[in-house]
Amino acid sequence: MIQGYDPRTGEPAGEPVPETADAEVDAIAGAAAAACGSWEQAGPGGRAEALEAVAAALDGAAAELVAAADTETALGPARLAGEVARTTGQLRHFAAVLADGGYADAVASPGGEGVPGLRRVNRPIGPVAVFAASNFPFAFSVAGNDTASALAAGCPVVVKAHEGHPRTSLLTARIVAGALAGAGAPAGTFAIVFGVGAGVRLLRHPAIAAAGFTGSARGGLALAAVCAQRPVPIPFFGELGSVNPVVILPGAAAARPADIAAGYAASLTLGVGQFCTNPGLLFVPGEHERLRSAVAEAIRASAGGPMLTARIHDSFSGAVAELGARPDVAELAEGQPGEGPWSATPAVFQVGLADFAAGLPGLAQERFGPVGLVITYRSVADLLPVLARLGGNLAGVVHADEASAADMDLARQVADVLARTVGRVVFNGWPTGVVVTHAQHHGGPWPASTAPAHTSVGAAAIRRWLVPVAYQDFPARLLPAELSRGSR
Amino acid sequence: MIQGYDPRTGEPAGEPVPETADAEVDAIAGAAAAACGSWEQAGPGGRAEALEAVAAALDGAAAELVAAADTETALGPARLAGEVARTTGQLRHFAAVLADGGYADAVASPGGEGVPGLRRVNRPIGPVAVFAASNFPFAFSVAGNDTASALAAGCPVVVKAHEGHPRTSLLTARIVAGALAGAGAPAGTFAIVFGVGAGVRLLRHPAIAAAGFTGSARGGLALAAVCAQRPVPIPFFGELGSVNPVVILPGAAAARPADIAAGYAASLTLGVGQFCTNPGLLFVPGEHERLRSAVAEAIRASAGGPMLTARIHDSFSGAVAELGARPDVAELAEGQPGEGPWSATPAVFQVGLADFAAGLPGLAQERFGPVGLVITYRSVADLLPVLARLGGNLAGVVHADEASAADMDLARQVADVLARTVGRVVFNGWPTGVVVTHAQHHGGPWPASTAPAHTSVGAAAIRRWLVPVAYQDFPARLLPAELSRGSR
């Protein structure tokens, strides 16, 4: 049984949900395979309508969804209502992506004297397994971005629910399934399974053609290995851990220490620090005591809160204790404790650049929660080679004083190094807050993502679930609809 | 030492080439890493000029290249001269891809009220290891399509030479390196290593960011495992074996048996059958004796020839002997033997659909060389589920009589099934002959390709070596050139 808990009390929240039995997982995967043809043939228009219907149904049930998720996650009604809106926005975003048509990448190379003509188009890869995340009970869970993009691509989806919010997952799944059926989607287009064993069985099922995952590096790498070791390996698109380095340049530190400190503390503690885009590493010029004082002050004023699960809380507490015990690391500030048994207290530590470099890769590992490491550097020339040694991250940030030519020149150098190890470089901002637009890239070199060319957020996320097929010398009447409608 | 041999005699051809020592492999990989920045900064214009220079240099040395390759491969001057032209055509094709600019996939999503603006662009993934193929000593070897596409992407390339044509590889590498240097490419942009051990060491080197491979399933899967098991795994783009099913529909069999038989025999024996697009499986309607007679006649008239290496010849002989020994398989026809110790004699066997289905997956495995299996079916309804059970293939073909409504309806059904298991579906043609155009897709589901969304031929082949980076709220003056030039 999968039992949800109320993070504010640590007590069980609602009835447990049964784990999905092996035979049921097999039947669900088989039904997904059987739905492939009809779901593809629904065409971009039909699938867009179905996505809109799912969005409308979720919006209509927003109050109920928020209440269920608040009990299981303690993320609070405001954040959760916003997340439902983001989730339905994502579904509608992919309806727009379908209407745009560019996702099909339809292209024709006419033949000629002895040269065959070719028309190429993207087609759905097949049934997709989606592993839901703990920290976004809507936007990266049952009806989240992986599900929305895969359904849009024409792929049936089977979600493996996250153990952290089983009742929210079940409720969402019922709404999604009902809306899809109401919109005429074939049976088998969408289903949900519960339990780690069910998830692994699903991933090994011959009907599953690809998998999406958002979560920890440990879990993701284990599932990636399952995919790679199948008799027929399948692509695994995992968004794993990230520490998202933030570099404050001297001009910025001098010009706006209070703003930077406030922005940092807000980003670090947002959602009790439970974001893959959390700014885990803050590089500051060592001579700017004012900035470090401001950071300490902002952190002391920040509030903790209950974490999503006991396991996440245990892991966070361990990471903080480990940092605190290191002789090369000193505590800079601690925030206000939250309430309840799983509450995290924000904490920031500091270390010199040389000690940080000596402590790699351990000191740059992800610590999920509101804990940050402030690294003091003497010069950007010292900093650059250390930045280059960081593993792949989802995002990296540089703060510069735009009025300072020296800062802007340094910013270019820092951005150049960051752009080789992160998927998104932010200027004078913070890594948290990933907008859902066409130009978004939420990925990055390993281990931030297991598939560095792909994103799990934004329009391009649909590309993960598409494979090209070229048609050589085909009569127009035998071409699939996307190609017979014409192509560039 | 890597010793090449003359396939016509089995005797050593020229001086052996030393295997690359470990320290040299490391130095080469390090130099490739050091070249990344400058090669990217050469920009699309600078890289296009360098590719044109390489093409011109190879064209200028065509006679010498053809002579060297003919000694080591016995593919003949006509085929080899054509292949040099194809190779330089590919290099120029990628110069044109760079001029077009679409490869950068530059896209902007302007920000707004509280919404950050984003600009995304593709950037080079880093140094690429290219494993050369045996069967295309130019087009998929040292200066082949993997090298051309990776250099175009802005990635330094280190080629691991194929053991089958070491002197041709060395000669080509010297021409490529000289032309690149002459065009101002940084040192380290291109290098070559010799030996299996050197190739594996290269693949494990931290500087290598991705790998391309064309060859056997066994070799490819071993290298894929090396990539997956690195401390930092890297993408491996392998084009592996393929049997390329060809379906002859009843109308086509009745209308043009002689044409089909001639086309089949020509495709099966082209290049002594040593193409990954060889038509290994021919499905014919059982009642059409005339087609089978014509096929037998065409095969009896076909000529064998020397295979590329002793190992390929041994493997071919074993595969033919194994087929011949099966009680469920009968010999249909044998062609004329070629000359020399490594010569292959074309051979075609036949089997009923039920026995073929019972013999899967073994009967559908690749047999590299001029050996085919003709499978007789009673009805397309019987055939479709068997086609659906085939593993991934690079290409699949359907032959129909365009004047027959019944054939065209069946063709649609066959194409629909094929399109789920192959990368390219051909109508009334043959799988050999892969044109280099924008719409080409030379890939397919596993095991045809280890990366089903990617192609190793055509403009899209460059995508393998690119990763997106998004720039959030960046001042225009800090953006990379591809983005500051404007984007859609």
Encode pLDDT of B378-411 as tens digits. Answer: 999 999 999 999 999 999 999 999 999 999 999 9
Least confident residue range of A346-360, B180-194, B422-436, B472-486: B472-486
Element (H, E) at B56: helix B43-60
Please name which of A95, A83, A100 lies closest in space to residue A51, comparing C-alpha atoms.
Answer: A95
Catalytic pick from B239, B334, B366, B482?
Answer: B239
* pLDDT (average), residues A373-382: 98
Ramachandran class of A33: left when φ > 0, alpha when ψ lies in -120 to 50, beta otherwise: alpha
HSE of B349, CA atoms in CB hemisphere, 13 A: 23
For residue B409, how many other CB atoms are within 10 A of its CB?
Answer: 13
List the structure tokens of B86: 């194809």
Residues of B (400-419) whose Cβ lies below 8 Å from A? 402, 408, 411-412, 415-416, 419
According to the model, what pLDDT value does residue B53 have? 98
Sign of CA dihedral B361, B364, B368, B371: positive
Q: Return the ∠ at Cα A21 (arms to A20 and A26), rounded to 5°.
A: 95
What are the backbone dihedrals phi and psi of residue B445, each rounded to the nearest 5 degrees, phi first? -60, 155
Element (H, E) at B122: strand B118-124
Query: A308 and A134 in contact (C-beta within 8 Å)?
Result: yes
Encode pLDDT of B293-339 as tens digits. Answer: 999 999 999 999 999 999 999 999 999 999 999 999 999 999 999 99
Judge whether residue B285 has pLDDT over 70: yes
Strands (DSSP E) found in B14-100: none
HSE of B206, CA atoms in CB hemisphere, 13 A: 4
Q: In the structure, what pLDDT confidence band is assigned to residue A473 with cuts at 50, 70 and 90? A: very high
Rounded CA separation A269/A254 (Å): 24
List the structure tokens of B466: 């690119």
Please name which of A349, A343, A334 lies closest in space to residue A274, comparing C-alpha atoms.
Answer: A343
Rounded CA separation A31/A25 (Å): 10
For β-strands A281-285 and A245-248, DSSP reports them as parallel
pTM of the model: 0.96
Judge whether residue A485 has pLDDT over 80: no
DSSP A21: P
According to the model, what pLDDT value does residue B454 have? 94
Residue of B nearest to A236 (CA): B451
Residue B234 with chain A: CB contacts under 8 Å? 446
Residues of A (345-374) whose Cβ lies below 8 Å from B? none
Q: In the structure, what pLDDT confidence band is assigned to residue A483 with cuts at 50, 70 and 90? A: confident
Residue B384 with chain A: CB contacts under 8 Å? none
| Beta pairing partners, B220 | none
Residue type, position B342, single letter = W
Question: Cis omega (within 30 of 0) on the bond before B361?
Answer: yes
Sheet hosting strand B128-131, strand order edge to edge: B190-193, B157-160, B128-131, B210-214, B236-239
According to the model, what pLDDT value does residue A281 have? 98
Encode pLDDT of A87-128 as tens digits. Answer: 999 999 999 999 999 999 999 999 988 899 999 999 999 999
Residue A415 with chain B: CB contacts under 8 Å? 471, 474, 478
Which of A208, A407, A435, A484 to mutate to test binding with chain B, by most B CBs within 10 Å of its CB? A435
Q: In the structure, what pLDDT confidence band is assigned to residue B482 with cuts at 50, 70 and 90? A: confident
Rounded CA separation B4/B162 (Å): 10
**Which ipTM score applies to this complex?**
0.96
C-alpha dist (Å) from residue B198 to B102, B146, B158, B236, B244: 35, 19, 11, 17, 33
According to the model, what pLDDT value does residue B487 have? 42
Judge whether residue A429 has pLDDT over 50: yes
List the structure tokens of B232: 């930092």
Q: Return the ∠ at Cα A234 (arms to A229 and A238), rounded to 5°.
A: 95
Ramachandran class of A45: left when φ > 0, alpha when ψ lies in -120 to 50, beta otherwise: alpha
Rounded CA separation A67/A228 (Å): 39
Residue A277 with chain B: CB contacts under 8 Å? none
* pLDDT (average), residues A42-58: 97
Element (H, E) at A320: helix A310-325
Please name which of B7, B5, B6, B2 lies closest in space to residue B316, comparing C-alpha atoms.
Answer: B7
Q: In the structure, what pLDDT confidence band is assigned to residue A487 with cuts at 50, 70 and 90? A: very low
Q: In the structure, what pLDDT confidence band is assigned to residue A287 with cuts at 50, 70 and 90? A: confident
According to the model, what pLDDT value does residue B360 have? 96
Sign of CA dihedral B77, B78, B83, B88: positive
| Nearest CB to B437; choose among A109, A455, A477 | A109
Q: Verify whether the Cβ–Cβ distance A428 to B466 is below 8 Å.
A: no
Is position A239 annotated as part of the catalytic site? yes
C-alpha dist (Å) from residue A192 to A33, A88, A129, B408, B468: 15, 19, 9, 40, 32
Encode pLDDT of A129-139 as tens digits. Answer: 999 999 999 99
Q: CB burial class (10 A; 0-12, 13-18, 19+) of residue B375?
A: buried
Encode pLDDT of B424-457 as tens digits. Answer: 999 999 999 999 999 999 999 999 999 989 999 9
According to the model, what pLDDT value does residue A481 have? 80
According to the model, what pLDDT value does residue B485 have? 59
Residues of B (120-149) whose Cβ lies below 8 Å from A? 120, 123, 125-126
Please name which of B188, B87, B65 lies closest in space to residue B139, comparing C-alpha atoms.
Answer: B87
Sign of CA dihedral A473, A474, A475, A479: negative
Residue A304, helix vs strand vs coil: coil
Rounded CA separation B268/B278 (Å): 6
Encode pLDDT of A330-373 as tens digits. Answer: 999 999 999 999 999 999 999 999 999 999 999 999 999 999 99
Residue B425, helix vs strand vs coil: strand
Q: In the structure, what pLDDT confidence band is assigned to residue A265 with cuts at 50, 70 and 90? A: very high
- B443 touches A: beta carbon within 8 Å: yes
Judge whether residue A29 has pLDDT over 80: yes
| Orientation of helix A405-418 relative to helix A380-389, angle to 10° | 20
